[in-house]
Structures are given as C-alpha cells and as structure tokens.
Structure 1
Amino acid sequence: MPEFVYEALEPATGRRIKDEGYFEGPLELLRWLERRGLILIRYRLKKRYFWEELFAPKVTRVELAEFCRNLAFMIKGGVPLIQALEDLEKTAENKTLAKAIRKLRQNVEEGKPFYESIKEHPKVFYPIVQALTLVGEETGRLDETLYSAAEHLLRVDEIISTTKRALIYPAFILVSMTGALAFWIFFVLPRILTLFQEMKVKLPLATRILIALVSFCTSNWFYFLAVPFGLVVAGLFVWKVPRARFYFEKIILKLPLVGKVRRTSFMAFFFEYTALLLEAGVNLMRTLEIMQESLKNPYMDEIIMTLKNRIEEGFSFFEACEGTGFFSPLELRMVKVGEETGRLVDQLRYLADYYYQRLERLVATLSKMLEPILITVAGLLFLIIVLALIGPIYDMISQIGKF
C-alpha cells in the first residue's frame, strides 16, 4: 500500500495538520480526511528507495516492551487508544516502529480492531504480543495484558542476553588467542628462525620441531584461510537448514557446561511463556502454537509438537511432558502438583524464576572457569615457543661475543 505525505486544514480552528499515512490512492485519502472533518490542501506520494527497506532498523524487544508498557499506562490513565498511538508515534525513535504505530493508528481510526491491526506487522509485534492483545480486547483488560507483554519481553531479552554473554566471552578469548598465535607463526617466528639458520647456530630438538611447524604453516597458509571460511559456510548452512540445526542443537545440549547453559535458557523461556499465556486465559494448545511461532528452534519445535500431539490424544500436560523424555524429574513433579492442585500457573512461574536465577549463576560460573583455563593454555603455548628460542639466542649471542 502506498504511503502519502499530506497537509490538511481543520476548518473549526484554522489549524494546518501535516501527517503521513497509508492509503490505496488519493481518493481514499480525501474520503478519510472528510470523515474527520478535515480539508485536504496538498499531498504527495512518499518516495521509497530499496535501501530504506534493506537497512530499516529492526525493532528490538526492549523497544517493543517500552511501547507496550507506555501504551498500557496511557490506556489505564483514560487516554483514548487513537490519541495514545498518536503520542507514541511522535516519541518513537525507531523509524520502523514509528511507521508500524502510524499504520496501527490509521487502522483503528477506520474502525478496525486493534488486534487485527497488530497482526499486519508480524516482524514488529511478536506472536506473544498479538495473542495478549487479542485476549485484552476480548476481556476488556488491554492495559493489563499489554503490561504483561512488556514484562515478558524484558525478561526474555534478559535471558537471551545472559545466554549470549555466556557463549560470546569464551569465543572472544579463543579468537584473540588464535589471532595472536597466528601473528607469531606467520610473521614473527619465520624471521627469527631464518636468522638462526643463517648464523649456523646449533639448534636443540625443540627449536627444530618449531622450525618444522612454522615451515609447514607458512607453506600451507591457504588452508588456514580456507578452514575458517569453510566453518562460516557450514555455520550458515546449519542455521538455514532446520534439520541440520536440529542435530547441531542436540550436540550442543550434550556438551558439559555450554549444554547446561543452553538447556537452562530453554527452560526459563518455556516456563515463562507458558505461565504468562495460561494466566492471560489462552488455552494450552494455543499457547504451544504461539510458542512454536516465537521460538523458531527446530529442536524445541519437535518437543512442542510431541506435547501438542499427546495433549490431543487426551493426555494431561504432565503426561505429555513426561512422554517427551526432555523434562527432568523436578520439572515433572512441579507440573504434576500444579495440575492436581489447580495452581499450574504458580508452579510454572516458580520454575521460570528458578531457571532464570540458575542461568545467571551458570553464566558467572562459566566465565570464572573458562578465563583461567584459556589463559593457562595461552601461557603454555607461548612458554613452549619462548623455551624453544632461548637456547639458540644464547648460542647466537655467545658467537657474536667471540668476535
């Protein structure tokens, strides 16, 4: 749908209004303004360039959470929805979000339900926000469900950020060590070792091994570029192909410490999501469907599919979880007690908080464990290099002293 920039006159006050909006054509724009008692002065079609869509800023979870929270506060304070959206559009710093809010406002002004308008922007408003908006409109508690959506988005963003910090830090250290080692092997050591050979210094075994290693590396430098490139291509393949990503996630979950961090992150998200939607009044099957749309993780997708199939067969939520073979005895016990006592949401929230706190402890533990290990490995590598160089350097200095 084309976007128009227009200027209109408000006859009662003589005020000129400049705004933008999406319309099928100039006639629809004119009729839309007439319904609001405005007179069209001028308009133009807003130009669109392909790079604007290509480099359009993505709406982050924090930005979306801020929008939901502010809208919830304004609705609770008695501000009409259209006026609230207009104010939020003016204050939105993210252009993509501002454009989506403008379209929401226009749709609501035309009488379209807020939930239907939200659904038109799936890349901006996540499935959880769509679901809670629908529940809020149907129950008349839109302010409460929007606030719940904001709290959930902030919690999920914290979970994802915490997991990334746990995995990025050791990766950064490893890359830095590899870069330093490559600099020594390809630039520093060849010059030093060539000098030893020219001076005809008697070389110990450790130095001869180092020379052989450096010679092999410098003569096969192409492979040292091809291997990282191949790993990047393989990583992209794994990320794009669902089945390959499924097995990759399965391998990650079996790793000693990283796997525990990954699983804890999954569990914190799963229980947080389920508790929020069930508390809002969404049924269990729809909750699992929305979770599938949000996660987009092949491994978790298969677990959720198993849950849905078993629930459709008549099993309880506890029995469905037990049938996946993924949930621990603690998790199963909590779910079972929740179902039996009618306090399932409370039990799920307890599990979500438990795994969130556990994730924070694991991240702190991971950093404390990996840092000394990586530093020790780096120190040993460079110690071996230094020891292999000390003997020949001492002999070379002795020969120079004789002259």
Structure 2
Amino acid sequence: MPVFEYTALTPAGRKLKGVVDADSLSAARQKIRGAGNYPVTIRETAIINAADRDSLFTRQIGQGIKQQEIHLATRQLATLIGAGIPLVPALGGLIEQTTNRSLKTVLAQIKDAVNEGNALTAALAAHPRLFSKIYVNMVRAGEASGSLDVVLDRLAEFGENQHAIRSRIKAALLYPLFMAIVGVLVLFLLITFIVPSITSVFEGTQQALPLPTILLIGMSTLFKQFWWAALLAVGTMMVVSRWYITTPSGRRRWDTLKLTLPGVRDLTIKTASARFSRTLASLLAAGVPLVSSLTIVRNIVDNVVLAEHIREAGDELEKGASLSQFFRGGRWFPPMLVQMMAVGEQSGALDTMLAKAADSYEKEVEIKILALTAMIEPVMILTMGVAVSFIVVSILLPIFEMNQLIR
C-alpha cells in the first residue's frame, strides 16, 4: 500500500503535517478529510527497493532520526500493545504520536508491511540502519513467545541505559577536550604572532643569544611560514591512521594493542565485558537461544580479537561445553564475570546473573573514565605551564644578559 506525506489545515486553521497510507491519492485525501482536516498538499513517498535502500536510509539518517526517538517509539509501542491494542492499530497510533517526519515514513512502511501479512520482524529487518540485529532478534523471540510488549519494553530500557552511559562519558570528556583545543590555539597564537614581535628586538644586537631563545625563534619562524604544512601533516596522519584501522590487518593490530597496553587494557576489557553481559542478558531474557545470542553479541564488543573468542565459545557450546567452562580457560574476560556465568548456569538464571555483572562493569567503566578525565586536567595544565614557562624564560634570558652588559 502506498504511503503519502501530506500538509493539511485543522478546523481551527492550524497547519498540520503527517503521513497516511492509502490505496490511492483520492483514498488518502478521503482519509485526511475523514479525520476532520482539509488537505492542502499530498505527495506519495518513494518506494523502497533493494537497489536504493542504502541511499534512502542515508537520507533518512541525515534528516535526523535519532536513536533516542527509536527508544521512545519502542516504549510507546510496548505500552499500546500491553494495553491490548492489536499490532496494526498500535502502529497507527504510534505514527500519530511521532513528530519526526522521516520516522513517520518508516513507521508507516512497517505498518503497511504488517498489514499485508508480514511479521513485525520482517518489517523491521527491512530497515537495518535503524533496527539492529539485536533489536530484530529480540522482537522475533517476543513474537514467538507471545510476549511482544515485554520484549519491546526491555528493548527500550536497554537502549535508554546504553544511551545514558554514552552521554555521561561524552559529558565527562567534553571539558578536557575543550581545554586541549584552547591550549593548542593559545600556544599557536603565542608562538606565531606574539613571540616574533618580542624577539625582533634581539635581531639588531650583536649579542649571542641563549640556546632556548634560538630554539624559540626557530620554532616561531617555522610555524609562521609553514603552519599550513603542519596542519596538512596532522590531517594526513589522521586520515591515514583512520584508513589503516578500517583494513582487516590494521583493525586487528589496533584491537590487539588496546588489549595489551597498560591502563588501556583494563578499560577495554571491562567496557567489552559490560557490553557483552548487558546484550547477552537482554537476548536471553527475551528467549533467544544462547548460541544465536552469542552470534549476535560478538558484533557489538567492538574488538575483533574478543569477537573471535566469543565465536569460539559458540562453537564449543555446540559441542556440549558450558559457557563458563570455555571462558574460564581464556585470558580476556574477568574472573568475576566467569564466576557469575557459572552461578547463572547452575541456577538456571544466566540472564539475571549477566545483568548484575553488566551493572557492576558499567559502573566500573564510568568511574574509571571519570578518574582518567580527572587526571587529564592537571596533566594538561602542567603541560601548558611548562610550555608557557619555556617561552617566558627564552624571552627573559637575553634581556637579563643585556642588562649585565649595560652594567
């Protein structure tokens, strides 16, 4: 069934924009009038097919479909279904509540697919940029078990918790990043513009300048004449580094480095453990089989070395081994997580124990990142102090020597 975007006027004269699905343009117009509104413009949206799906999703994401809106829509749909409303009318009510036009279009396409007899899972899988494999598989399990509202509620909670953690971490890193940018700009302005005007006083003298002053003048001249080359070199290094990390060999080396560097290793493992535990707990609670859950989870740990380790765990499970038994022999996941897996397997509450482990590791990661950001600030202040002290000493040394000669 085609989907139409429309602009209409309410009985009170207020302008209204929305999306409606109908068999034809005239049927869409009748639906709008049936709702008590006067249609002004009606336009059929583009039909999605496999060839142009990626470009359409790119356009939709660019128009601002945020993950927070997906989480909110998921919770609203869970509430409507939990109240006993059938799926298609629930999707219709969700479309009316949504304010984002792009999301309205996507939801209308999902409703259209479900109305034609497709499962909700299949309708969601047609939008992989918006609904991840975790999302689709949990919905599939909810449809199979008849507890779709419970699964959707868990999905919304899972997404909101992950977003809250990322937001707190970004907020903690914002101030150090701002200080770093300001510090670099201040040093650049000092060396490029302020220092030359001061050191030009020494050019007319025949006095031998101290080594710090010579170095400062050389740095100032270099930055003033070739600042563009420095920016180009930094930009090139960043682009090349990012490209290399996207290659299979570069990604493996980078991920291996994160697992071996002191300080970074602990944070990397605990972050991966939190993601692994939280996602696996959500999938198991939704009724997804353990082996299938591991196949999904290995894609979200953001480390190819750990992903291979999880894949090997799935292979061993199919041979009859237990999850805790396999991870106990490895060196990547923390002993506490392995112990909680064992307790969960013995008690039949693996999802509950994994959720508790995720709570613990998420708090540890947040505390560790806050501690690191707290350490960054004094280090940056110290670095700025040393740089400014070098500039001041380099300028004052020849002045002191000139005063000695005058005396």
**TM-score between the two structures when normalised by the length of structure 1:** 0.82
What's the counterpart of residue 15 of structure 1?
none
Equivalent position SS for 2:62: coil
Q: Does 1:283 align with 2:267?
A: no
What's the counterpart of residue 12 of structure 1?
none
1:387 to 366, 383, 393: 393
Q: Give the C-alpha shift of residue 299 in structure 1.
A: 3.6
Q: Does 1:228 align with 2:234?
A: yes
Aligned residues: 383
Q: Give the C-alpha shift of residue 367 in structure 1.
A: 1.8
AA aligned to 1:266 is A
> Structure 1 residues 30 and 96, CA, compared in 2 at 3 Å: closer, same or farther?
closer
1:233-283 alpha-carbon deviations (Å, 9 max, x no partner): 123313432431232122233334344333322111110111111122111
- Farther-moved stretch of structure 1 (163-172 vs 323-332): 163-172
Cα distance in 1 for residues equivalent to 2:265 and 2:182:
23
Q: Does 1:362 align with 2:368?
A: yes
Q: Is this contact kept in 2: 1:243–1:298, CA < 8 A?
A: no
What's the counterpart of residue 12 of structure 2?
none
AA aligned to 1:114 is L
- Farther-moved stretch of structure 1 (44-53 vs 56-65): 44-53
Q: Does 1:314 align with 2:311?
A: no
Residue segments in structure 2 that go unaligned for 5+ positions in a row: 8-16
AA aligned to 2:277 is F
Q: Is this contact kept in 1: 2:275–2:300, CA < 8 A?
A: no
> Structure 1 residues 301 and 167, CA, compared in 2 at 3 Å: closer, same or farther?
farther
Q: Give the C-alpha shift of residue 306 in structure 1.
A: 2.0
> Structure 1 residues 2 and 79, CA, compared in 2 at 3 Å: closer, same or farther?
closer
Q: Give the C-alpha shift of residue 355 in structure 1.
A: 0.4
What's the counterpart of residue 11 of structure 1?
none
AA aligned to 1:71 is L
Q: Does 1:90 align with 2:96?
A: yes
Cα distance in 1 for residues equivalent to 2:64 and 2:248:
23
> Structure 1 residues 250 and 159, CA, compared in 2 at 3 Å: closer, same or farther?
farther
Cα distance in 1 for residues equivalent to 2:3 and 2:239:
39
> Structure 1 residues 312 and 31, CA, compared in 2 at 3 Å: closer, same or farther?
farther
> Structure 1 residues 181 and 389, CA, compared in 2 at 3 Å: closer, same or farther?
same
Q: Give the C-alpha shift of residue 44 in structure 1.
A: 5.3
Cα distance in 1 for residues equivalent to 2:44 and 2:116:
21
1:285-304 pair list within 5 angstroms: 285-294=291-300, 297-304=303-310
2:244 to 238, 241, 244: 238
1:5-24 pair list within 5 angstroms: 20=19
Equivalent position SS for 1:254: coil
AA aligned to 1:159 is I
1:124-139 pair list within 5 angstroms: 124-139=130-145
Cα distance in 2 for residues equivalent to 1:295 and 1:314:
24
Equivalent position SS for 1:193: helix
What's the counterpart of residue 111 of structure 2?
105
Cα distance in 1 for residues equivalent to 2:146 and 2:127:
22
AA aligned to 2:314 is K
Q: Is this contact kept in 1: 2:3–2:108, CA < 8 A?
A: no
Q: Does 1:150 align with 2:159?
A: no
Equivalent position SS for 1:93: coil
Equivalent position SS for 1:198: coil
Cα distance in 1 for residues equivalent to 2:330 and 2:188:
46
Q: Is this contact kept in 1: 2:5–2:44, CA < 8 A?
A: yes
Q: Give the C-alpha shift of residue 360 in structure 1.
A: 1.9
AA aligned to 1:309 is D
AA aligned to 2:220 is V
- Farther-moved stretch of structure 1 (244-253 vs 67-76): 244-253
Q: Does 1:253 align with 2:271?
A: no
Cα distance in 2 for residues equivalent to 1:105 and 1:118:
10
Q: Give the C-alpha shift of residue 190 in structure 1.
A: 2.3
> Structure 1 residues 6 and 199, CA, compared in 2 at 3 Å: closer, same or farther?
closer
Q: Give the C-alpha shift of residue 356 in structure 1.
A: 1.1
Q: Is this contact kept in 2: 1:322–1:332, CA < 8 A?
A: yes
Residue segments in structure 1 that go unaligned for 5+ positions in a row: 8-17
1:374 to 363, 380, 400: 380
Q: Is this contact kept in 1: 2:299–2:307, CA < 8 A?
A: no
1:118 to 113, 124, 128: 124
> Structure 1 residues 265 and 296, CA, compared in 2 at 3 Å: closer, same or farther?
closer
What's the counterpart of residue 208 of structure 1?
214
Cα distance in 2 for residues equivalent to 1:19 and 1:202:
77
Equivalent position SS for 1:378: helix
AA aligned to 1:94 is N
Cα distance in 1 for residues equivalent to 2:170 and 2:254:
17
1:340 to 343, 346, 354: 346
AA aligned to 1:357 is K
Q: Percent identity?
A: 28
